[in-house]
Amino acid sequence: MESETNRNQSYIHLIRTSRELLVEKIKNTQCLLHNLIKNGVFSTEDEEIVLQFRTRADMVRQILDLVESKGEEASEYLISVIQRIPEAYYPLQPWLKDIGFQASDKIQNVQVINTDPVTSYSKKLKQELRRDCKIIMSYSQKEEMMLQETYVNGVMELLNISQETIGNVVNLTCLFDNNGVINEEGETIFIFGDAGMGKSLLLQKIQNMWAKEESYTDIKFLFRFRCRIFSFFKANVSISLKDLLFRYNCNPDHEPEDVYEYILNFPETVLFTFDGFDEIRSDFDINSIPEVPSPSDPAHPVALLTHLLSGRLLKGSKKILTGRTGCQVPGNMIRKKIMLKGFSTSNLLEYANLFFKEPDIKKHVFTHLNANHNFSSLCTIPLFCWIIFKSYAHFYSMNDSHCFSKSITLSISSVTLTDIFLVLVEVYLSLMSRETNRSQVETYKGCRDTLLSVGRLAYSGIEQSMFVFEQETITSLKVPERYLKLGFLRTVEECGELGDDSSYEFFHVTLQSFFTALFLVIDDQTGTTELLKYFSECSHSKDMEHNHSLLSCVCSKKANQGDPFKNNDHLQFINLFLCGLLSKPKQGLLANLVPSSTLKLKRKALKQKLVQCVRSHLKSLPRSSFMGYNRVHALTHFIWMARCILETQSVKVGKLAAKGICADYIKLSFCGASSSDCGAISFLLNHYKDKLALELDNNNINDYGVRELSPSFCRLSVIRLSVNQITDEGARVLSEELTKHKIVTFLGLYKNLITDFGAQYISRIIIECPNLKHIKLGYNKFTGVGGAHLAEAIGQSSSICDVGMWGNQIGDEGAKAFAKAIRNHPSMSELSLACNQITSSGGKSIAEALRDNTNLNILWLTENKLTDEAAESFAEMLMVNKTLRHLWLVNNTITNEGANLLSKAIEHNTVIEEICLQGNSLTQDTDHLLQTSSRIFCQ
Ligand SMILES: Nc1ncnc2c1ncn2[C@@H]1O[C@H](COP(=O)(O)OP(=O)(O)OP(=O)(O)O)[C@@H](O)[C@H]1O
């Protein structure tokens, strides 16, 4: 065979002269042989000759001899196979580069089949994942839902180290880009969120995208772990990294050593997903982890996990770790921090559209969502949304959509989480009994034994911090097999890997909490001390809100007696459901399950305990005076307290808590409050007599949350809702409510999603609320049009004194409108138009208007596009204006010329205290005046 191209190069010669190297580096003879035979270069006799040899090196020698004897084209094809299957022959890639190998067109057209173990293993992993990730696992095993058909991207926010939002993850393909990186050295993408926000499902979606080759094409291996498996290893267990990867995912079918070696050599082709970091409870002694790990030495799985996350093992591999809010991971490991914030309004509509296929039921659901904001705010949490939709679908299929309303007692003002879980359980119970027309009370009454049995299992798990139930436990608690199949529980695969194939877990841990609470309430043997014990475990400790180390979080049991690091959301949920189940509106139902005397006793005890907890919690909160208010700084625990109070639906408890707050400014920023929590906060505040200030900055309340707050707006004089995903709809609700009561003095809406359309609503508030002094609208989505609306409204207000518009896009159109508004404004003393794309044309208008203004003290025009032309106008203005004290022109394009003009002007102005010019186009050789002026800041 004669190669037509590359005539100058003899491939036979090449193979001959590189023989030693080829014999040393070719590990995979199988793949070479396969291709040589498949394409007729080798006959079956040739193959037999090669296979006679016992060592790999001899086989390679024989292959090379045979190939050389077949001529140039055969030799070229062999080298081409080596080049085209880099996974198998990666040690020879530098050699190929050295010889500058480029196969001829003819050889390139000859097929190469990749049968090497690395590629086969990658395919196997993909196949398994494609199968496993197709359906949503947390549903009952009877009805499965296709991931593809129900997955909706929720709100995913990138956070900086101070937990502040720095943008959104637009879609999952952007996870590994450079946007939002907070630590270049870190290798782990940490995704966190509250229970049921969709962390596991998001990982499932990523796995599915990879398996279907829709994304992450540079990844060859995806290893997924649920962190809870790390709790199953005893303290003295040691395994190798190779075993951890292969045994707990799947084994390579061929040459596992070669595959592992490839992984060690190319860690950047590996992606790990670790789900539920907060679920690890291990006895392992954290101090025994070696500083420098070895990829071949066995170690405890927790040590391996630590090394993987920190990049000490398989450095360069990609890692995604999920955990509940509050679960601490050391900053040096984290590359990006992403917070899941559930469904936005549009996500919710998208999900409803996917979930309900029939137009009729879809219509009903949309009507329901629109009519009941309490209901829709619960739906922003994906898990609860699924529960609600599922129940809805069930009742609808029974031809009784009203039953849904009845079951969740829409007659009372609000739907509680207990209502939702009661309905969910009712759905499963009625599926079991196949009696479609029974009322909720009848269904529960008929299934008391089932509830007790499943409840006992849930409770025993909680008692031992156990979320997975082995057969032994199930047998000892005498839980009948058929109850395990009702849909509340599902089998756990990871435990199968550990040698037990019939372990179960509740499909979500909140359901385990619900069943525990139900058990504590309906079990005759449970006394009041047992009933209330989780209240003490959940009492707030300051440490709980501080940063913790990874290791103390991972290895909790012994190291942390009283365990301040333990995530105790599941216990908080038990308390919450206790409050709900023992509330007055649920007595009709509960009276059928518990003797009335017991019920009475338990209700009384719970009420006393709750009141006592509320009192002591409120007493312990830090207080300070702020802006003339008596401010109380509430923490996440306060939100749990408010949730419990809401579940009780008790006016008395609400009043008591409101009284205990003893402050007129409640700061609840960074508390992880969601829209449904606003209902709880509102319930509390409704019992407050006086006006008060509410700060809810940096939470996740969105438009539904604003609606939930509606009943409180008659009391709120300060409303701070910055960084909360509020859109025009939220602005509309605010305008409707605030203009009714007209008491607002401070409205903070910084970093939300309000557009020019919403600007009209905000304008109405500005015009119609005569006490409004401060309005913060920075980092929304206003352009010139919205800016003009707002400016016009501000021009009409005689109360406003502080306006923040930082980081919008109002440009010159907006700037000119603001110029008009401030010219003769009677009250405005601070204005920020920083970072707004304003050029000198807009700047000049503002400067001219300021000649007439006699109130403005501070003006921020930082980060615009102002040149010397604008500086000249400001200089002229300063000769006339006698009120402006601070002028911020940082990060514009003013040169020495403009700066000098300003400098000269302030010689005639004794009022101005500072002109900030840092970040402009100034050079060292500034004028003498500029150098000597102590009121001009250039550096
Ligand atoms: N993006 C989504 N699209 C559609 N449904 C979702 C989405 N996210 C979550 N869900 C629904 O919510 C359920 C719970 O989600 P998931 O188990 O992922 O929550 P989680 O955040 O991992 O909770 P936990 O912290 O308690 O483990 C899912 O089974 C699914 O029904």
Q: What is the pLDDT of residue 727?
A: 94
Q: What is the pLDDT of residue 926?
A: 60
Whole-number Å distance, alpha carbon 196 to ligand 1 midpoint, is 5
Instruction: State which H helix or E strand residue 500 sits in.
Output: none
pLDDT in tens, 310-341: 898 999 999 999 998 877 788 888 999 999 99
Does ligand 1 have an atom closer than 6 angstroms to the CB of 201?
yes
What is the pLDDT confidence band of residue 140, given thresholds at 50, 70 and 90?
very low
Does ligand 1 have an atom closer than 6 angstroms to the CB of 577?
no
CA separation for the pair 388, 693 (Å, rounded): 33
Taking alpha carbons only, the member of 526, 521, 533 closest to residue 448 is 521
Q: What is the pLDDT of residue 516?
A: 96
DSSP letters, 682-708, are: HHHHTT--S-EEEE--SSB-HHHHHHH
pLDDT in tens, 625-635: 988 888 988 87
Is residue 543 over pLDDT 70?
A: no
Whole-number Å distance, alpha carbon 382 to ligand 1 midpoint, is 6
Whole-number Å distance, alpha carbon 199 to ligand 1 midpoint, is 6
- Minimum-distance ligand 1 atom for the alpha carbon of 193: 21
Pocket probe for ligand 1: among 136, 149, 201, 512, the residue whose CB has the most ligand atoms within 8 Å is 201
Does ligand 1 have an atom closer than 6 angstroms to the CB of 684?
no
Pocket probe for ligand 1: among 200, 388, 392, 674, the residue whose CB has the most ligand atoms within 8 Å is 200
Report the range of poorest mean pLDDT among 87-96, 548-557, 867-876, 924-933.
548-557
Whole-number Å distance, alpha carbon 786 to ligand 1 midpoint, is 37
pLDDT in tens, 640-682: 888 899 899 888 888 888 888 888 899 999 888 888 889 889 9
937 phi, psi to nearest 5 deg = -115, 120
Beta carbons of 891 and 921 less than 8 angstroms apart: no
Q: What is the pLDDT of residue 403?
A: 60
Taking alpha carbons only, the member of 25, 653, 550 closest to residue 331 is 550
Is residue 423 over pLDDT 50?
A: yes
Segment 537-543 mean pLDDT: 56
Q: What is the pLDDT of residue 141?
A: 46
Does ligand 1 have an atom closer than 6 angstroms to the CB of 745?
no
List the alpha helices (DSSP H) in 380-447. 382-397, 401-407, 417-433, 440-446
- Minimum-distance ligand 1 atom for the alpha carbon of 324: 25
Hey, how many other C-beta atoms are within 10 angstroms of the C-beta on 616? Answer: 12
Does ligand 1 have an atom closer than 6 angstroms to the CB of 150?
yes
Whole-number Å distance, alpha carbon 197 to ligand 1 midpoint, is 5
Of 1.10.8.10, 1.10.490.10, 1.10.533.10, 1.10.287.950, which CATH number belongs to 11-115? 1.10.533.10
Question: Per DSSP, what are the bridge partners of residue 666?
Answer: 632, 694
List the residue whose alpha carbon is closest to atom 23 of ligand 1.
196
List the residue whose alpha carbon is closest to atom 8 of ligand 1.
198
Pocket probe for ligand 1: among 151, 156, 386, the residue whose CB has the most ligand atoms within 8 Å is 386
Q: What is the pLDDT of residue 315?
A: 93
Q: Percent of the chain at pLDDT above 70?
A: 88
What is the pLDDT confidence band of residue 539, given thresholds at 50, 70 and 90?
low
CA separation for the pair 355, 337 (Å, rounded): 30
Map residue 556 onto helix, strand or coil. Answer: coil
Our measurement of the distance from residue 867's CA atom to the centroid of its chain's CA atoms, rounded to an integer in Å, reads 42
CA separation for the pair 76, 896 (Å, rounded): 68
Does ligand 1 have an atom closer than 6 angstroms to the CB of 355?
no
Segment 463-489 mean pLDDT: 86
For the chain, the average pLDDT equals 86
More confident residue, 507 or 26: 26
Report the range of poorest mean pLDDT among 267-271, 538-542, 745-749.
538-542
What is the pLDDT confidence band of residue 758, given thresholds at 50, 70 and 90?
very high
What is the pLDDT confidence band of residue 559, given thresholds at 50, 70 and 90?
very low
Does ligand 1 have an atom closer than 6 angstroms to the CB of 323?
no
Q: 3 is written with which tokens?
A: 């190669």
pLDDT in tens, 39-85: 888 998 988 998 998 898 999 999 999 999 988 889 999 999 999 99
List the residue whose alpha carbon is closest to atom 13 of ligand 1.
383
- Minimum-distance ligand 1 atom for the alpha carbon of 137: 29
Angle at 567 between CA 563 and CA 573, to 5 degrees: 120
CA separation for the pair 553, 224 (Å, rounded): 21
List the residue whose alpha carbon is closest to atom 29 of ligand 1.
138
CA separation for the pair 45, 42 (Å, rounded): 8
Does ligand 1 have an atom closer than 6 angstroms to the CB of 154?
yes
Taking alpha carbons only, the member of 189, 178, 300, 181 closest to residue 235 is 300
Domain boundaries, the chain: 11-115, 154-340, 359-430, 448-603, 621-725
Whole-number Å distance, alpha carbon 385 to ligand 1 midpoint, is 10
Whole-number Å distance, alpha carbon 18 to ligand 1 midpoint, is 56
List the alpha helices (DSSP H) in 133-179. 147-150
Q: 910 is written with which tokens?
A: 């004794």
Map residue 716 onto helix, strand or coil. Answer: strand
Q: What is the pLDDT of residue 829?
A: 96
List the residue whose alpha carbon is closest to atom 24 of ligand 1.
195
The superfamily in CATH containing domain 154-340 is P-loop containing nucleotide triphosphate hydrolases (3.40.50.300)
CA separation for the pair 535, 644 (Å, rounded): 11
Q: What is the pLDDT of residue 547?
A: 35
Whole-number Å distance, alpha carbon 138 to ligand 1 midpoint, is 8
Does ligand 1 have an atom closer than 6 angstroms to the CB of 326?
no
Whole-number Å distance, alpha carbon 284 to ligand 1 midpoint, is 30
Is residue 218 over pLDDT 70?
A: yes
Does ligand 1 have an atom closer than 6 angstroms to the CB of 511?
no
Does ligand 1 have an atom closer than 6 angstroms to the CB of 428?
no
- Minimum-distance ligand 1 atom for the alpha carbon of 569: 26
Whole-number Å distance, alpha carbon 341 to ligand 1 midpoint, is 11
Report the range of poorest mean pLDDT among 349-353, 374-378, 455-459.
374-378
Whole-number Å distance, alpha carbon 333 to ligand 1 midpoint, is 25
pLDDT in tens, 174-185: 899 999 999 999
Is residue 886 over pLDDT 90?
A: yes
What is the pLDDT confidence band of residue 30, given thresholds at 50, 70 and 90?
confident
712 CB burial (10 A radius; 0-12, 13-18, 19+):
buried
Is residue 501 over pLDDT 60?
A: no
Q: What is the pLDDT of residue 2?
A: 40
Q: What is the pLDDT of residue 145?
A: 62
CA separation for the pair 736, 730 (Å, rounded): 10
What is the pLDDT confidence band of residue 249, given thresholds at 50, 70 and 90?
confident
Does ligand 1 have an atom closer than 6 angstroms to the CB of 193?
yes
- Minimum-distance ligand 1 atom for the alpha carbon of 152: 3
Q: What is the pLDDT of residue 399?
A: 58
Q: What is the pLDDT of residue 108?
A: 87
More confident residue, 778 or 299: 778
Whole-number Å distance, alpha carbon 371 to ligand 1 midpoint, is 25
Does ligand 1 have an atom closer than 6 angstroms to the CB of 341?
no
More confident residue, 359 or 848: 848
Does ligand 1 have an atom closer than 6 angstroms to the CB of 324?
yes
Is residue 110 over pLDDT 70?
A: yes
- Minimum-distance ligand 1 atom for the alpha carbon of 151: 3
Is residue 799 over pLDDT 60?
A: yes
Does ligand 1 have an atom closer than 6 angstroms to the CB of 197?
yes
Q: What is the pLDDT of residue 406?
A: 59
Does ligand 1 have an atom closer than 6 angstroms to the CB of 573?
no
Q: What is the pLDDT of residue 157?
A: 92
Is residue 492 over pLDDT 70?
A: yes
User: 């880099």: which residue's tokens?
Assistant: 86
List the residue whose alpha carbon is closest to atom 26 of ligand 1.
195
List the residue whose alpha carbon is closest to atom 4 of ligand 1.
151
Report the range of poorest mean pLDDT among 88-92, 159-163, 866-870, 875-879.
159-163
CA separation for the pair 313, 290 (Å, rounded): 12
CA separation for the pair 143, 743 (Å, rounded): 52
Q: Provide the sign of the torsion angle of the four alpha carbons 163, 169, 174, 175, taken in this order.
A: positive
Q: What is the pLDDT of residue 412?
A: 41
Does ligand 1 have an atom closer than 6 angstroms to the CB of 230?
no
Does ligand 1 have an atom closer than 6 angstroms to the CB of 195?
yes
CA separation for the pair 28, 63 (Å, rounded): 12
Using the CB atoms, write b or e for 210-228: b if 16+ within 10 Å.
Answer: bbeeebbeebbbbbbbbbb
Q: What is the pLDDT of residue 481?
A: 86
pLDDT in tens, 360-371: 888 888 877 776
Report the range of poorest mean pLDDT among 401-410, 573-582, 757-766.
401-410
More confident residue, 113 or 933: 113
Whole-number Å distance, alpha carbon 934 to ligand 1 midpoint, is 59
Length of the chain equals: 939
Does ligand 1 have an atom closer than 6 angstroms to the CB of 140?
no
Whole-number Å distance, alpha carbon 191 to ligand 1 midpoint, is 13
Q: What is the pLDDT of residue 787?
A: 97
β-sheet with 188-193: strand ranges across: 165-168, 156-159, 334-340, 188-193, 318-324, 270-275, 221-226
Segment 710-723 mean pLDDT: 95
Report the range of poorest mean pLDDT among 107-121, 138-152, 566-580, 796-810.
138-152
Q: Provide the sign of the torsion angle of the four alpha carbons 661, 663, 665, 669, taken in this order.
A: negative
User: 């139902």: which residue's tokens?
Assistant: 589
Segment 295-324 mean pLDDT: 89
Does ligand 1 have an atom closer than 6 angstroms to the CB of 306?
no
Is residue 290 over pLDDT 50?
A: yes
pLDDT in tens, 197-215: 999 999 999 998 999 898 8
